[in-house]
Structure 1
């Protein structure tokens, strides 16, 4: 579970922290070594201008390094703790059921990094929907402005801690 607060601190459960730390270590070690081997093998094929394998491996290397930087920053700002205990107030780390524009939705309010292993849609607490319902309880109503400029009504049905 992750929660990013306005101060730039990211709250993670111990499980999420450990999973992201393991991913970082893999990418720094085995991941980098594998890409280096692929680049070297493609280099051995000759002319680099028209070598698709070489260019694909270099692109992959760039994505790998970007993900490493992203994980380093996320873990650097992480605060490890337990999932939210209050099961009826909407906040980061909560699975929310809400009626949005007349349709019932169930989603995780928080970070895609942590909600990645779930079928739930994930909305940031900084999204228009997330910002509108933060701090609300079951039965509370709010509105937010959609990118189209339309006002959308939201009624919170329930909120419960995400258990991964």
Structure 2
């Protein structure tokens, strides 16, 4: 089971609909057009279309599995006294004194550009369960150590 936000589930459903209703018929049409060109044994267009079809069907299958095994996180049940999934955390890097803000999200919803980091990253794991005023000492995969002070925890 994987946890998702309501928006994340809606995105997956929208992508699945796009793939099934628009992309699948396009590839079927490409295969039919390539087949009409004759000898399939040396038809690169046919091979490419069949490969694209396989990739598409694999993506559709993966999305269906993800949707079926996803559990939507009930934001009303989240506690902001400690860092947890979907919390936005304001941190101070103790070494640089820089302020950073991260929102901890499920894996498939992470986007570093917008400050949304996966709950499974070393930084997120080091922050989980911390309260305002506590220090989180985090060891990164490259061996570097970071120390953050939790300044604020909120839900967006």
In the superposition, the TM-score normalised over structure 1's length comes to 0.71
1:124-156 deviation digits (Å, cap 9, x = unpaired): 212111110011122221112112112221222
Choose the corresponding residue for 1:104, options 99, 106, 115.
99
- Offset of residue 119 of structure 1: 4.8
Choose the corresponding residue for 1:135, options 117, 129, 133.
129
Choose the corresponding residue for 2:74, options 82, 85, 110.
82
Query: If each structure's helix is expressed as a fraction of its own residues, which one has the higher value?
Result: 2
CA distance in 2, matches of 1:121, 1:47: 52
* 1:34-113 pair list within 5 angstroms: 34-45=26-37, 49=42, 51=44, 53-83=45-75, 85-100=78-93, 102=96, 103-111=98-106, 113=108
Aligned-pair Cα RMSD in Å? 2.9
2:10 matches 1:18: yes
Gaps of 5+ in 2: none
Report if the CA contact (8 A) 2:118-2:124 is conserved.
Answer: yes
Q: Size of the alignment, in residue pairs?
A: 152
Question: 1:29 matched to which residue of 2?
Answer: 21
CA distance in 2, matches of 1:61, 1:33: 10
1:19-77 deviation digits (Å, cap 9, x = unpaired): 322322332233211222123323444566463x5455444334322322332222112
Gaps of 5+ in 1: 1-7
CA distance in 1, matches of 2:87, 2:51: 36
2:154 matches 1:160: yes
2:114 matches 1:120: yes
Question: 1:5 matched to which residue of 2?
Answer: none
CA distance in 2, matches of 1:158, 1:45: 64
CA distance in 1, matches of 2:25, 2:146: 49
- Larger Cα Rg: Structure 1 or Structure 2? 2
